[in-house]
Amino acid sequence: MQWGMLIMCRKQRAAIFAVVILVLVAFAAAETTRKEMHFKVGRRASVSIVNAYGPISVKPGPGKRVVVTAILYSAKVEVDQSSRGHRVSVFSHLLDGATPDTGRVDYEVLVPADANVTLHSTTGPLHVEKLHSDMILEGSGAVVEVRDVSSGHIQIKTLNGPVTLTNVSDGHVDITSVSGDVALNMVNGSVVHVNSSSGKIHYDGDFGDAGDYSLTTHSGDIEAIAPAYASIEVVARSVQGRVENDFPLQPEHTSFVARAGSAFAGTMGEAASSVKLLSFSGKIHLKKH
Amino acid sequence: MTCEEFERVLPELGDGHTTEQEAHLKSCSACSDLVADLNAISQQARLLQGSEEPSPWVWNSIEVALQQEGLIRQPHLARSQPPAPLLGWKLRWLVPAAAMFLVAFGVLMFQRGTGQPPVAEQQTPPVGVETAGLQPMAGDDLQLLKTVGERMPSMRAEYEANLRSVNAYIRDAEESADSDPNDEVAQQYLRNAYEQKAMVYEMALDRSLP
Amino acid sequence: MTDAKKQQSNKLSEAEAIERAKLGDAEAFEALYNLHKRRVYSLCLRMTANTAAAEDLTQEAFLQLFRKIGTFRGESAFSTWLHRMSVNVVLMQLRKKGLPVVAIEDTMETEEDAPRKELGADDARLAGSVDRMQLQRSIAALPPGYRMIFLLHDVEGYEHNEIAEMVGCSIGNSKSQLHKARMKLREILKTSRAEKAAKP
C-alpha cells in the first residue's frame, strides 16, 4: 500500500512537472513576436535597418519588393518603419528598461539585388550576400560578413567586430576597424582600402582589376597571399616590425627607400595594380600561393 | 615644311591641319607618330574624368557641417531617431566636438604640408586621470567615455580599450611624421590614425543606437 | 527608357533636388552630392595628387556650393557652376600654399622640367596603347603648372579661353603649356615603357 502511494506520488509529480514545463515554454514563446513588413520599391532602392541588438541578414529577393521579417524577443522593443518613394527605413526602438537580451530583434531582409543597403547594429552580426549595389555596414562589436557581391561601394566600420569579405568583384571597398581582424578572400576592385589599428589583415586574392589596394595597420600583422601571375606595383613597410616577401620583384624608380627586413618595393608583371602594405609595428608577409 | 616648323605650330593646331601640314605628316613618320601619340594621350585623359570616388567620410563631414550651419532644416530620415530619453540633451555638445575634431584633422594635414607646426602641438596638454602604466587620456576622450558609460555601461570598457589603441596609433604616427615631414607613408599613417579616432567618436555619438 | 528620356528624367531629378535643397532638405543635399561627387573629387585628386587634400577640397567645394545654393537661378548648368567653384577652391588652395598655378614664362622653366625635343628619333610609338594607370601616375609626376592646364583641358574639357580666365594667363600661354604637358607625358610614358622592356 505504501509502495502504491509512493508510485502515485511520483506520477503526480511528473505530471505537474510536465505541465509546469509546458507553461514555461508557452510563456517564453509568447514573449517573442514575429513581424513581417512588405514594401514596394523601384530601381536602386535604398534600405536602411537600425538594430541595437541582434543580427541583420540581407539577401536578394524576387521582384521590386523589400520584405523585412523581424523576430522581437520581448515587449521591451518595438519595430518602427517608414518608407518614402524608394527609401525604406526600419528601426528597432528600445523601451525603458530594455537590455541587450530583451531588446534583441533578429532581422531577415529580402531586397532587390540592386538595392543600396545601410545596416547599423551594436552587436550584430551583419550578413549581406549576392547584391550588386552600395552598402554601409556599421557596428561596434558586430561580426560583419559580406559575400558574392559585385559592382558596389562597400563601406564597413567596426570597433572590434571581425570583418570577412568573400568573392567581391568590381568593388570599391573601404573598411575601418580598430581592433577587429579583417579577412579578404577573392576581393578585387578599383579601390580596396583597409585601415586597422590593432586588428590583423589577411588578403588572399590576385589584386586584380588594376586597382588601388591599401592595407594598413598600426600594430596588427598583415598577410597577403597572391598568385605568381599577379600584376602589381607593391610597396611594403613596417617601421618597427619585420617584412617578408616571397616574390622576385623588379626594382622600380621611386622615392620609396627599400630596407632589408623592414621595407621593400617593386613590380610584378605589368604592374597593373598598386598595392600598399603598411604597418607601424606589425609583421608584413607577402606570400606566394 | 620642316619638322621644326611643324612642331612650332603644333600647339596651335586643333582638329584641323592645313594642306601643307597634312603633306608633311604624310611624308614624315616621326611627326605623324608624335601627333598620334599626343592624340592618344588626350583621348585617354578624357576617360579619367570623374573616375575616382571619395570615401563616404567626406559626405559625413559635409552633413555634420550643414547641420552645424543650420542649412539642413529636415534631419536625415534614417537617423531621425528620438534621442535616448534620459541623456539626449547631454549629447548635443558632443556633435560639434566631433565635427571640430574632423576639421582639426583636415587643418592638421594642410599645416603639415606647409611645414607649419601641427595643430596637435598647439592644443592644451592632455588632462586626465592616469591609470597605472597607461597614458592619461585627454579631456574630450574622458567625457566621451563618461557619456558612453551612462548610455551603454556594458560598452564602456570596449570603447576605452579602442580609444587607447587609437591614441597610441596617433602618437606613433605623429612621431613618425614629425621626424620626416616629407615622408608620404608617415603622412598616411597619421591620416589613418585620425580616421580611426573620428570613427570611434562617430560610433559613440550615433543617436540611432543606445 | 531611351537615353534621351533617361537624361531628361535625370535633369528633372537634379532640378527637383536643387529646389528642395534651397528649402534645406537633407536628402536633396545628399542627392546633389552623389550626382557630382566623382567629378569634383577626381578633379581635386588629380590637381593635388594627395587623397587627404582632395577630400578636404571636395568637402570645401560642396559646402561653398550648398551655402550659395539659394542664389542659383539656372542661368548656367548646375554642374558647370559646381565645377567652376571646385576649380576655384583648388586654385585658391594652391595659391595659399605658394605653389605655382601655371608657369607663365617659358624662360622660367628649368632644364629638368622642359620636355626633350626628339624630332626624328626612332622611338617606339605610344598610339593606341596608353595605359590608364600609367597615365594617372604620369600626370601625378608632371610639374604643377603643366598638370593644372592638362587636367583642365584634356581631362575636364575646358576650352583655352575658359582656362585662361580661371588661372589668369593668356590663351596662347594656355595652349603652349598644354602642348608641353602632353610632350612631357609622352616622354614619361615612353621612358617607363623602355625601362620595363629593358628588364630581364
**Cβ <8 Å between C59 and B42:** no
Dig out the grid coordinates for A235 from the structure.
610597396
Report CB contact under 8 Å: A176, B199.
yes
> What pLDDT sits at residue A4?
53
CA distance B47 to chain A (A): 15
Q: How far is C38 from chain B (nearest CA, A)?
A: 5
Cβ contact A232:A211 at 8 Å: no
- In angstroms, the CA A182 to CA A282 distance is 14
pLDDT per residue as tens digits for the range B6-39: 888 888 876 566 778 888 888 888 888 888 889 8
Residue B161 sits at the chain C interface (C-beta within 8 Å): no
Q: Are A157 and B199 in contact (CB under 8 A)?
A: yes
Q: Which residue of B has its CA nearest to C185?
A: B41
Question: H helices within A216-276, ranges in order?
Answer: none
Percent share of chain B, pLDDT over 90: 2
Total CB pairs under 8 A between chain A and B:
114
Our CA angle for B70, B87, A177, nearest 5°, is 80
Instruction: Please tell me the predicted confidence (pLDDT) of residue B92.
Output: 44
Q: Which residue of B has its CA nearest to A257?
A: B183
Confidence at B203, pLDDT banded by 50, 70, 90: confident
Rounded CA separation A22/C100 (Å): 82
Whether the pLDDT of residue C75 is over 70: the answer is: no
Distance from C-alpha of A82 to C-alpha of A105, rounded to nearest angstrom: 17
C18-39 confidence digits (pLDDT tens): 888 888 888 889 889 988 998 8
Instruction: Kindly report the average pLDDT of chain B as a whole number.
Output: 72
Q: Kindly indicate the confidence band of residue A164, based on its pLDDT and cuts at 50, 70 and 90.
A: very high
- Quote the CA–CA distance of B116 and B119 in Å, as a whole number: 9
pLDDT digits (tens, 9 = 90+) for A261-283: 688 889 888 888 999 999 999 99
Domains and CATH numbers, chain C: 3-96 (1.10.1740.10), 106-198 (1.10.10.10)
pLDDT for residue B124 is more than 50? no
> Which pairing describes strands A56-60 and A182-196: parallel, antiparallel, or unpaired?
unpaired
Reported confidence tier of residue A3, pLDDT bands at 50, 70, 90: low
| Chains with ≥3 CB–CB distances under 8 Å to C | A, B
Average pLDDT over residues A10-38: 70
Asked whether A162 and A144 are in contact (CB, 8 A), the reply is: yes
Tell me, what's the pLDDT at C164? 85
* Opening angle at CA B203, ends A188 and A72, nearest 5: 90
Whether A18 has a pLDDT exceeding 70, the answer reads no
β-bridge pairing A153-158 and A182-196: unpaired
Residue type at position C16: E
pLDDT at C69: 87
pLDDT tens digits, one per residue of B139-173: 778 888 888 888 777 788 888 889 889 999 998 88
pLDDT (average), residues B43-57: 83
Cβ of A84 and B77 within 8 Å?
Answer: yes
DSSP B82: P
Is residue A78 exposed (0-12), middle (13-18) or buried (19+ Cβ within 10 Å)?
A: middle
A229 close to A269: Cβ distance less than 8 angstroms = yes
Q: How far is CA A123 from CA A10, A126, A277, B158, in A?
A: 46, 9, 30, 12
Is A155–B195 a contact, with Cβ atoms under 8 angstroms apart? no
Q: Does residue B129 carry a pLDDT above 50?
A: no
Q: Name the β-bridge partners of B113.
A: none
pLDDT confidence of residue B106:
57
- The C-alpha atoms of residue C24 and residue A125 are separated, in whole angstroms, by 35
CB contact (8 A) between residue A118 and residue B78: yes
Q: Please tell me the predicted confidence (pLDDT) of residue B140.
A: 78
- The answer to whether B168 and B58 have CB atoms below 8 angstroms apart is no
Strand partners, C111: none
Q: Which of B158, B199, B208 sits opposite A141 (nearest CB)?
A: B158
What pLDDT, on a 0 to 100 scale, did the predictor assign at position A25? 55
Secondary structure letter of residue A159 according to DSSP:
S
CB contact under 8 A, C133 and A274: yes
Of the spans A127-131, A257-261, B122-126, which averages the highest pLDDT? A127-131
Average pLDDT, chain A: 87
A99 touches chain C (CB under 8 A): no
B63-70 average pLDDT score = 82
Residue B29, chain C, CB below 8 Å: the answer is: no
The H or E element containing residue A274 is strand A273-279
pLDDT of amino acid C107: 35
Give φ, ψ of A95 to 5 degrees: -95, 170
Q: Which residues in chain B touch residue A118, judged by CB atoms under 8 angstroms apart?
A: 78
Angstrom CA distances, B118 to A134, B97, B189, B196, C179, stand at 36, 19, 15, 18, 39
In sequence order, what are the residues at sequence separation of 6 or more whose Cβ sits closer than 8 angstroms to the Cβ of residue B2?
Answer: none
In Å, what is the CA distance from B205 to each residue of A119, B90, B94, B200?
16, 11, 7, 9
Model confidence at C9: pLDDT above 50: no
Say yes or no for a CB contact (<8 Å) between B77 and A82. Answer: yes
Residue position matching grid coordinates 626633350: C116
Mean pLDDT of the B188-205 span: 86
Nearest-by-Cβ selection for A272 from C133, C195, C199: C133
> Which residues does chain B have within 8 Å of residue C66's beta carbon, measured at their own beta carbons?
62, 66, 71
Query: Which chain B residues contact residue A141 at CB under 8 A?
Result: 155, 158
For position A148, what pLDDT does the model report? 93
- Report pLDDT digits (tens) over A139-160: 888 899 999 999 889 999 999 9
**Which residue does chain C place closest to B103, by CA atoms?**
C56
On the question of pLDDT at B89 being above 50, the answer is no
Which of the two residues, B64 and A244, has the higher pLDDT score?
A: A244
Q: Lowest-confidence range among A182-191, B174-183, C9-18, C48-57?
A: C9-18
Q: Which of C27, C119, C176 comes nearest B3 by C-beta? A: C119
Q: What is the model's pLDDT at position B130? A: 41
Residue C177 confidence (pLDDT) above 60: yes
Q: For residue C71, how many other CB atoms are within 10 A of its CB?
A: 8
Q: How would residue A224 be classed by pLDDT, with cut points 50, 70 and 90?
A: very high
Packed helices B94-114 and B139-151: angle between N→C axes, nearest 10 degrees: 150
Interface probe for A, chosen from C20, C133, C138 (most Cβ of A below 10 Å), is: C133
Q: State the pLDDT at residue C96.
A: 72
pLDDT at A24: 58
Decide if C182 and B58 are in contact by the 8 Å CB cutoff: no
pLDDT in tens, C77-127: 788 788 888 888 888 887 776 655 555 444 334 444 444 444 444 445 665
- Name all contacts of A18-25 with Cβ < 8 Å and 24+ positions apart: none
Residue A253 touches chain C, beta carbons under 8 Å: yes
User: How far apart are the C-alpha atoms of A237 and A216, rounded to whole Å?
Assistant: 10
Arithmetic mean of pLDDT over chain C: 77
Burial of B142 (0-12, 13-18, 19+ CB in 10 A): middle
Spatial separation of the C-alpha atoms in residues B60 and A41, rounded to whole Å: 26
Measured distance CA(A242)–CA(A261) in Å, rounded = 5
Could you tell me the pLDDT band of residue A42, with boundaries at 50, 70 and 90?
confident
C-alpha B184/C-alpha C27 separation (Å) is: 37
Report the Cα–Cα distance between both ends of chain B, in Å, rounded.
78
Q: Are strands A163-177 and A87-94 parallel, antiparallel or unpaired?
A: unpaired
Query: Do the bridges between strand A87-94 and strand A77-84 make them parallel or antiparallel, or are there none, so unpaired?
Result: antiparallel
Cβ distance A237 to B78 less than 8 Å, yes or no, reads no
In this prediction, residue B202 has a pLDDT band, given cuts at 50, 70 and 90, of confident
| Rounded CA Rg of chain B | 27
Q: Mutation test of the interface with chain A: which of B76, B185, B202, choosing the one with the most A Cβ atoms within 10 A?
A: B185
Compare A96 and A23 and report the one with higher pLDDT. Answer: A96
Instruction: Pick the closest to residue A174 from A192, A201, A149, A159 (CA basis).
Output: A192
pLDDT at A51: 94
Among B52, B199, B201, the strongest candidate for a mutation testing the A interface, having the largest count of A CBs within 10 A, is B199
Residues of A in contact with C135 (CB under 8 A): none
- Of C28, C59, C26, nearest to C41 by C-alpha is C59
Whether C133 sits inside 8 A of A250 (CB atoms) is no
Question: What pLDDT score does B79 carry?
Answer: 39
Residue A287 contacts residue A226 (beta carbons within 8 Å): yes
pLDDT digits (tens, 9 = 90+) for C124-153: 566 556 777 888 888 988 888 888 899 999
Residue B119's pLDDT is what?
42
